[in-house]
Chain A
Amino acid sequence: MYKKGLYRILTNEPLTATVWRMTLAGDTQWIAAPGQFVNIALEGKYLRRPISICDFDERSITLIYKVVGGGTAQMSRMQAGEELDLLTGLGNGFSTRNDARRPLLVGGGVGVPPLYNLAKKLLAEGKPVQVVLGFNTASEVFYEEEFRALGCEVTVATADGSRGVEGFVTTVLAEQEPDFDYFYACGPLPMLHALYNATERDGQLSFEERMGCGFGACMGCSCKTKYGNKRICKEGPVLEKGEIIW
């Protein structure tokens, strides 16, 4: 189920030069799983902006977003106390109902945020959580310490080697051979594809697509899977590794 509602901005602050964190107060009862997203109406913009949920509790939602265009720039200028119209509880998030005992979380860039609440959930289920985070360069790294503070084992990779392992998330897999039996991933398509090819393990991957509505009505974000056509906004954004067609 999902719902439209008004949410009051509590905080809105930059984490890096282009990535911001916004916390909002409001009804979160429709958020059912990590990896779901909200769809945000912005003044003067026709379509809503889909943003993954980084974290949530009974009364608040944390979003981490990258300023990539006019809409997200507008969000970055909003102040605490202002209100936003959100659709919440959208999408099929990550499921932790599986036999995995040693999950690996792999995030790239603004694909990192939805893994945060997932990490919390996995830790609460008593599973040790390893996290590999990939960024372009040191100045773009965010949430490394936040994951560590949760109790995750964190490895950072940067493409230019300015922080952590030099290379990609797949470099970490190849060089450090982390011991995991299942993975959860969110990041740019090339990263997801490379990861898919780099491991024999099963897992779940969260995809991105341009959306019209965000709730399954417009068929704007469809993809083909081994089990038929799916909508990234509705049956996705999280798909099982075994159903993906590249």
Chain B
Amino acid sequence: MVDTSVELCGLRLDNPVVPASGTFGYGNEFREFYDINVLGSFSFKGTTREPRFGNPTPRIAECEAGMINAVGLQNPGIDAVIREELPRLKTFFRKPVIANISGFSVEEYAYCCERIDKQEQVGLIEVNVSCPNVRHGGMSFGTCPDAAAEVTRAVKAVTTKPVFIKLSPNVTDIVSIARACEEAGADGICLINTLLGMRIDVARRRPVIANTMGGFSGAAVFPVALRMVYQVAKACRIPVMGCGGVTTARDVIEMMMAGATAVQVGAANLVNPYASKEIVEALPGEMERLGIEKLSDIIGIV
């Protein structure tokens, strides 16, 4: 019997498989497909202080082995999440959930994290400083070490829950940003968010996406994500949650060998609603084939 459990800042996960924010809503859509308690945890939809509709449509463009999205942080706002989504989640999910918090100012991040800090089921806060689809906020905090550190300090001051900073790959030096977050007190790093991308409808001679650009994700980004997980895990002492293009149990193992303690599954959930469940189920078999008894033994082994 292999051991798939991992520990993330004192939080024990039955397995490292965590559906990524923005691909799993608040869990509700997926319970119609399977019992989501098989997951390690999941990261809920990026939540802001105010309700947001997001960007105009079309928001989605298909790519080779991936997709571009420009949803623009559509969410019901922190009040509705606390009032409606979390009580409902509690009725069908018994495990700690990861709260993805997004914002447009340092104050907004702090406000939302302070509110979510009081939510019992939230085991960990993931601060999204890397959304490529909003102006004046989002990614601008995650592409500059000082700004990322400032958000980290502000959030850490208002919560006792572990704080992971979710970083953008759209930077020249991912390590300097991750280190700035670590020095500012972050308990962990999550990476990568989507890569800024674009498609053009050549017949209509205009961008496919109404917002022109969007975040590229899916199987194609896996090598980029893996490389960044490797670099950050080598450079930081705090744990890393790997994210980007993960599609199979083998990808999970590869990401862990690169240094990830837990592994998020994103776009794969959207094309196969059972993707995360199938990865969880395939993990023990893959471990046996690869001679891994305890999954946590391989973290950062390369």
A binding-site residues for B, Cβ under 8 Å: 1-4, 41, 45-48, 87, 209-213, 215-224, 229, 234
Contacts and interface: CB of A to CB of B under 8 A. Distances in A.
Given A4-B273, A48-B271, A220 B63 contact: no
A86 to B, nearest CB: 12
6 contacts: A2-B32, A4-B272, A47-B62, A213-B270, A218-B69, A222-B57
Interface string B232-273: 000000000000000000000000000000000001011111
A208 to B, nearest CB: 10
Interface of B: 22-25, 29-30, 32-33, 45, 53-54, 57-67, 69, 71, 74, 208, 218-219, 267, 269-274
Contact of A41 (B59, B69, B269, B271): B271
A111 to B, nearest CB: 18
Nearest to A209: B57
B23 A218 contact: yes
Contacts of A47: 60, 62, 67, 270-271
Contact of A219 (B62, B71, B273): B71
A234 B60 CA distance: 16
Contacts of B67: 46-47, 212
A217 B57 contact: no
Contacts of A221: 57, 59-60
A53 B24 CA distance: 26
B30 A217 contact: yes
Contacts of A217: 23-25, 29-30, 269-270, 273
Contacts of A219: 22, 25, 45, 54, 59, 71, 74
A217 to B, nearest CB: 5
A211 B102 CA distance: 23
B273 A213 contact: yes
A220 B59 contact: yes
Contacts of A211: 60
A216 B32 CA distance: 11
A220 B60 contact: yes
Contacts, number: 91
Contacts of A224: 53
Nearest to A41: B271
A206 B1 CA distance: 51
B85 to A, nearest CB: 13
A218 B62 contact: no
Nearest to A2: B32
A212 B218 CA distance: 12
B273 A220 contact: no
A3 B24 CA distance: 17
B103 to A, nearest CB: 18
Task: Point out which of A210, A215, A217, A223 has the most chain B C-beta atoms below 10 A from its C-beta.
Answer: A217
Contacts of A48: 271
Given A48-B271, A216-B25, A217-B269, A209 B58 contact: yes
Given A41-B271, A48-B271, 5 more contacts: A47-B60, A210-B60, A219-B45, A221-B59, A222-B57
Nearest to B62: A47
Given A46-B63, A217-B29, A229-B53, A87 B273 contact: yes
Contacts of B53: 222, 224, 229
Nearest to B51: A229
A48 B71 CA distance: 18
Contacts of B57: 209-210, 220-223
A46 B63 CA distance: 7
A220 B71 contact: yes
B215 to A, nearest CB: 12
Contacts of B267: 46
A112 B184 CA distance: 59
B250 to A, nearest CB: 19
A224 B54 CA distance: 10
Contacts of A87: 273
Contacts of A234: 29
Nearest to A221: B57
A142 B114 CA distance: 59
Given A216-B25, A219-B54, A229-B53, A1 B60 contact: no
A16 to B, nearest CB: 20
Contact of A222 (B23, B54, B274): B54
A125 to B, nearest CB: 28
A215 B62 CA distance: 17
